[in-house]
Amino acid sequence: MAGSCRFFMEIEMVQRIPMSKAGNKKLREELLRLERVERGEVVKAIETAREHGDLKENAEYHAAKDRQGHIEGRIIELKDKLARAEVIDCSRVNTERVIFGAIVELLDMDTDEEMTYQLLGPEEADVKNGSISVLSPLGKSMIGKEIGDEVLAKTPGGTREFEVIDIRQSQFA
């Protein structure tokens, strides 16, 4: 009885993954491409490589099998993330406080440099394109802050101090 009870508790603790509508769409498109295009291409590559004879010394065959493993692994990963996705419309977020999906303008208190980030899920975060994970040290430390609040972020390089200058909605869902 205790074992089955623990099993059900673990199922209930499935961790939701916050994701924007755009991020969800991007993952679904990747999943479709992998299932409908790349999976078939790699099967053909394996068949072609098999025709070349001895599989022990067939580099094409081993490369295709490795690629097949990567594709199947990514398909499983994407299905899991999409099943646990909590899709949020970022064009409708409240801008009184920093929350998932908000675009936040920060002032680095050490360098007086201004920076702007959108808080997104870990799968769609891309610092080079202006988005960070809501689960990153900076992302976590911004949650709940208002304009004018100070943010202390414990990063691998040490503690950094920022001020929230502006909070706004994304123009995209």
Strand 114-120 vs strand 103-108: parallel, antiparallel, or unpaired?
A: antiparallel
Give residues with Cβ within 8 angstroms of 127, minimum separation 6. Answer: 117
Beta bridge partners of 105: 116, 166
- Rounded to two decimals, the pTM is 0.77
The pLDDT tens digits along the chain (173 residues) read 455 444 444 445 568 889 999 999 999 999 999 999 999 999 999 999 888 877 778 889 999 999 999 999 999 999 999 999 999 998 888 889 999 999 999 999 999 999 999 999 988 999 999 999 999 999 999 999 999 999 999 988 889 999 999 999 887 65
Residue in this structure with the two tokens 């675009």, named with its chain if needed: 103
Alpha carbon separation from 162 to 40, 104, 152, 156 (Å, rounded): 49, 11, 7, 16
* Domains parsed from the chain with CATH numbers: 2-87 (1.10.287.180), 90-168 (3.10.50.30)
